[in-house]
Structure 1
Amino acid sequence: MFATKVTAKVVQDNSGVTTEIPVILTDQGVLGPVTDYVLSLHLNGTSLSTITNHIQSIRLLIEFMDANEGMFHDPEELFAGFVRRLYSGTIGEDGLDPSGLYWIPASTGTINRHIGNLTNFTNWLSDKGLAKPLNTLRTATRHEERIQYAAWFRRNQNDFLGHIKDTSVNTTVKRARSIKGRTPLAKTNDDAIAFPTGKFEDFYMKGLGGAKDPRVALRDKLIVLLMHAAGLRRSEALLLWVTDVFEDPSDPDRAIVRIYNEIEGKAPEGWKSRKGIKTRKAYLQEKYSRIPRQEMQNTQHLGWKSKTLDDKDGYLEAYFFPQEFARVFMSLWRQYLVFRASVECHHPYAFVSFDSRYLGNPYTYNSFNQNYAAGLRRIGLEPNKSVGLDPHGHRHNYGRRLTDAGVDPLIRKKCLHHASLESQVPYTMPSSAKVSEALSQATQQLHLQSDKSTNQRSFDWKELAQHGFEDLDPDGYFTGKNPRLGKGKS
């Protein structure tokens, strides 16, 4: 048995259009209900990452059902076992796993996500009338029958993965309309790890600037400027079109940069299709026979996370801070366009590959990550998200700079293209470094106050060590009234 995710082009009608989506392929073929579900998610604009997460959850349930065929007499036991093995993994203390699954324990957050995904999927099956009751689990021989039965059971019992009697699970689940996994540890959003400000100049000038190919250096500098100086996400910066950088009317040496949503954004230069459609999606299709990168399934895929736009034309504007960066960007942009114009490209994207194997192709997420890491290594650093040495750390640096400069929260919200003020919490809370610094200063202040006090007796470590350490230092080497090694000899 196998169940794997593959990318398929689905034909839904007699037009020449296919829909490229991930599906589940098993030894019994493509799972039709799952494909239909993914198509519905795709139609509703669900992101590729979310669809992929749903696929993974469904695949895990199918694999567990198949690996435990005949082991469970009722769905309560099956679903309880499924959740239990997500928590514990399936590998025994001897390192063996007779089921062949070889799952390692998943985090609480991951398990809750799987439960939520499966709840959504089985609800959808039930709503569409695709859920089928079966007499027992043992009669379900095909994967499709099993997942249809799971949907039927949830709808009729009104509790997917519910009614779990097992004591090992009862203590870790909460019952509502559907099972909820263990309560995850509370995680604070108090520290947006920013790229270290003190290392940026070296990274920018020597790291990125140290690339052998000047075209590569210019391209990557421009992308990092959009992230570090304007707070754009990596995927947003890579979506820039050559038509979307303008001279500021008040200062031609400053750039105005706009990142358009490729589905709803307005096409450039007043373009409209033969039927009067003005969207970028129509523009890409009619002029380049391309689909938006947001809808692609291959390495050229780029996500779109922002839920807010700066204009009805469907774009995000890059707000450079400090504003001098807008001049730096325009200077580099003018140089870069010379290189970009010398490469044949059948697409509108500004940033392209200069690798001879892919010359002129749109620059990909993975390629940028590799070049970014190479830039760090040129100055003796290794990529490390936990200390901000990561592309997203530049956006955090931008947010921190806005906060430290006292920029109004509403302006920060606009600059970061946040949907709500709450999204700024990671940038407004003190970082771990600032907490340590504040405590150090407070400690020094405490010492100063102690020194000024004439009545308070000084803390005497020698006196403290005379008693109470017999169990730790029975031979009296360091403690007691006369420690044997307590005094150094000159």
Structure 2
Amino acid sequence: MINTETVVVQDKIRACTPTILLIVGVSPFQPLLEFFRERCLSISAERTYAQAVGRFIEWLSIRTDEFKETSKRSLLYTAFVYDLRFGTYQDGHDAHGLHWSPTTHQNLKRLTRALLEFTDWLSERYGAMMLNPIHHQASFTDQLIFWRKWDNKKASSLLASIKSRPGSAFEAMAGRQAGIPRSRNDVLPEAKAYPSECIDDLLWCGFINPGKQNDPRPWVKYNLRDILITLLCAYGGCRASEPLHLWADDVFVDPSASDMALVLIHEPSDGMVCYTDPISGNQLKTSRGDFLQRFCSGRKPLTLETGRRHAGWKGCLLTHAERKAFQVFWIDKNAGRLFLTLWRLYIQHVRPVTPRAPWAFLTKDAQPLGVKGFDDSFRAAVRRADLIPAKWAGTSSHGLRHRYGQWLNELGLGDKEGQVAMHHLNAKSQEVYRQMSLAQVADAIDRRLSVSTLPFFKESESRIANAPDMPT
């Protein structure tokens, strides 16, 4: 069996952008890297493609010989899909040594979609150089090409194209012979929001610095840095990674309320930054990526960092076009007032003074805080607040954003207002955050029943009431 693994590397061709490299045996799988360079995908999307291709290569290394006969070749993809969906164990034994557990229908679609898209690209790119993969010395790249190009008519093609091309109407109608096993169920996307009644305990008990609970100075007693991030997530609707891109100059006094904070979170690379030219003394503007490179000793936006300094960035609806930033909308004005008070204490007493790291939230050694660092601190704070940090309970850092979405419902805000408040590119993206919980559905039914006069069950009640006693 040929084993595969994935590693995160920096691609010098793409300005040292982090990318996923698939290792097949001991060698990098270069075609997949070329595919990533053309598509410019997010690193999470690259992981999906690498996982799909890696699994297929491992599977081919074990079971290719079973499908050498011409009559069986069209069944190869079917066998792979079913092994992926239902696992490789039969009667408690794995004859192939793959040790695959069953996967969900949703995950199956995700992986097969990625595999088919990559192999279509591979066939188009290297089809003219295709070798016969049945030969023992053929590479696995050539095998992938072969299985994609085996049947020219594509009526029973192993990996038929998922895209329509000119003159391919018959091929599109024929489709693939191997269908993905259907799932006849769906899951209610119940919003797992952080319990609103527990947020105060999280802020004022969970974020107490160990051993400093009796110190009268709030910047010593509390972890102000992570309280500020939590306020942005719970009362500002931010994803946990977004406040980490905040710079020290991105918090202003709200012009409409002098005791409230106006927070602008900029796009990590393209967001605007103003600076004073060291030669002319003029006020100039540039992008944050350029500023970090020229004035911060070659630093990079946190989206391009790896390890504990990395912080992701999803596409956002920007409210300030020139600055390439979105405004944080406080769900409670008191949170905006508290944020400004704590922010001033944090900047004055806590944040390390360093001209080489403009980010607002830094570690004690003046390095930018990444998602992993905040998540570790947040989970510890949840435990100190006597809760279990878990996604299913809503007590993860992302549960704070779900709480914000539920508060939007309670305020009765519409989809457009919710889209802007949660800075979604698509108004439908907020649905998962504003989905009613099971308890809310049951409560809504109970409230309607309390005022209803419809005789839903009157006749049945009378029949039971008049029925003879049941024998014991």
* TM-score, reference length from structure 2: 0.83
What is the aligned residue count? 443
Structure 1 residue 191, shift from structure 2 partner: 3.1
Which residue of 320, 327, 331 maps to 1:311?
320
* Correspondence 1:285 to 2:325: no
| Equivalent residue, structure 2, for 1:411 | 417
1:315, 1:396 → 2: CA distance?
A: 22
Q: 1:437 to 1:155 in 2, by over 3 A?
A: farther
Q: What corresponds to 1:60 in structure 2?
A: 55
Matches within 5 A, 1:206-285: 206-209=205-208, 211-212=210-211, 214=219, 217-269=223-275, 278-285=286-293
Contact 2:191 2:436 in 1 (8 A): no
Gaps of 5+ in 2: 161-172, 213-218
Secondary structure in structure 2 of the residue aligned to 1:234:
coil
Match of 1:323 in 2: 333
Partner of 1:146: 143
Return the alpha-carbon distance in structure 1 between the equivalents of residues 359 and 155 of structure 2: 49
Map Cα deviations across residues 92-132 of structure 1 (whole Å, 9 max, x no partner): 323x3232211101111111111110121112223323564
**CA distance 1:202–1:131, change in 2 (3 Å):** farther
Quickly say closer, same or farther: Cα 1:339–1:432, change in 2 above 3 A.
same
Q: For residues 36 and 278 of structure 2, what CA distance do their matches in structure 1 show?
A: 31
C-alpha spacing 1:158/1:31, structure 2 compared with 1 (3 Å): farther
How many Å apart are 1:465 and its aligned residue? Answer: 7.2
Distance 1:435 1:459 in 2: 29
1:394 aligns with 2:389: no
Partner deviation per Cα, 1:9-65 (whole Å, 9 max, x = no partner): 44449xxx5454221112251112112112223xx3x21100111111010011001
1:89 aligned onto 2:87: yes
Q: Which stretch of the first structure deviates more once superposed, 56-65 or 283-292?
A: 283-292
For the residue of structure 1 that corresponds to 2:286, the secondary structure is coil
Task: Name the SS of the counterpart of 1:77 in structure 2.
Answer: helix
**CA offsets 1:274-298 (integer angstroms, 9 cap, x no match):** 9x98221111222221222223343
Match of 2:362 in 1: 352
Q: Please tell me the residue identity of whatever aligns with 1:84.
A: Y
CA distance in 1, matches of 2:184, 2:318: 34
Distance 1:311 1:178 in 2: 50
Query: Which amino acid is 2:431 matched to?
Result: V
Secondary structure of the equivalent of 2:5? strand
* CA distance, structure 1, for counterparts of residue 20 and residue 266 of structure 2: 26
Query: CA offsets per residue over residues 381-430 of structure 1, 9 Å max, x none?
Result: 10132232121121121122122112243222211112233223345553
One-letter amino acid matched to 1:286:
R
Secondary structure at the counterpart of residue 253 of structure 2? strand
**Which residue is equivalent to 2:20?**
22
Bigger shift: 361-370 or 338-347?
Answer: 338-347
Q: Give the conservation status (yes or no) of the 8 Å contact 2:266–2:326.
A: yes
Q: What is the Cα deviation at residue 178 of structure 1?
A: 8.5
String of CA shifts for 1:222-244, please: whole Å, max 9, x gaps. Answer: 00100111101111122211121
Do the aligned residues in 1 keep the contact of 2:241 with 2:313 (CA within 8 Å)?
Answer: yes
1:294 is aligned to 2:303? yes
| Residue of structure 2 in register with 1:333 after alignment | 343
Q: Give 3-state SS (helix, strand or coil) of 2:6's partner.
A: strand
Match status 1:106 vs 2:103: yes
Q: Tell me the SS of whatever aligns to 1:397.
A: helix
Decide whether the 8 Å contact of 2:317 with 2:420 is kept in 1.
no
Give the aligned partner of residue 49 of structure 1.
44
The one-letter amino acid of 1:148's match is I
2: CA distance, partners of 1:277 / 1:160? 55
Hey, what does 2:76 align to over in structure 1? 78
Aligned partners of 1:209 and 1:221 also within 8 Å:
no
Alignment match, 1:198 = 197
**Cα distance change of structure 1 residues 120 and 254 upon mapping to structure 2, 3 Å threshold:** same
Aligned-pair distance for 1:328? 0.6
Distance across 1 between alignment mates of 2:152 and 2:299: 41
Report the Cα distance in structure 1 between the residues aligned to 2:388 and 2:47, rounded to whole angstroms: 29
SS at match of 2:308: coil
One-letter code of the match for 2:56?
L
Q: Which amino acid aligns with 1:157?
A: K
Corresponding letter in the other structure for 1:237: P
Once the two structures are superposed, residues 240-276 of structure 1 have per-residue CA deviations (whole angstroms, 9 ceiling, x without a partner) of 11121111233332111111111221124477999x9
In 1, Cα distance between the equivalents of 2:250 and 2:151? 50
Cα 1:34–1:159 change in 2 (3 A) is farther
The percentage of counterpart residues that share the same residue type is: 24
Task: Give, in angstroms, the shift of residue 334 of structure 1.
Answer: 0.5
Report the Cα distance in structure 2 between the residues aligned to 1:229 and 1:373, rounded to whole angstroms: 19
> Alignment RMSD, CA only?
3.3
Question: In terms of mean alpha carbon deviation, does 224-233 or 123-132 score higher?
Answer: 123-132
- The superposition leaves residues 291-310 of structure 1 with CA deviations (integer Å, 9 ceiling, x where unpaired) of 22223343322221134211
Letter in 2 for 1:318: V
SS of the residue 2:259 aligns to: strand
Structure 1 residues 52 and 190 mapped into 2: Cα distance closer, same or farther (>3 Å)?
closer
In 2: Cα distance, 1:159 partner to 1:238 partner = 50
Secondary structure of the structure 2 residue equivalent to 1:334: helix
Counterpart Cα distance in 2 of 1:260 and 1:248:
17
423 and 246 in structure 1: CA distance in 2 versus 1, 3 angstrom threshold: same
Give 1:194 shift: 1.7
Match of 1:168 in 2: none
Is 2:440 the counterpart of 1:440? no
Structure-2 residue corresponding to 1:487:
none
- Counterpart contact for 2:308–2:369, Cα < 8 Å: no
Q: 1:9 to 1:59 in 2, by over 3 A?
A: same
Which segment drifts farther, 368-377 or 142-151? 142-151
> What displacement does 1:146 show?
2.1
- The reply to whether residue 383 of structure 1 matches residue 389 of structure 2 is yes
1:35 maps onto 2:30 in alignment: no
Which letter does structure 1 place at the counterpart of 2:67?
F
Counterpart code for 1:60: R
For the pair 1:127 / 2:109, whether they are aligned, the reply is: no
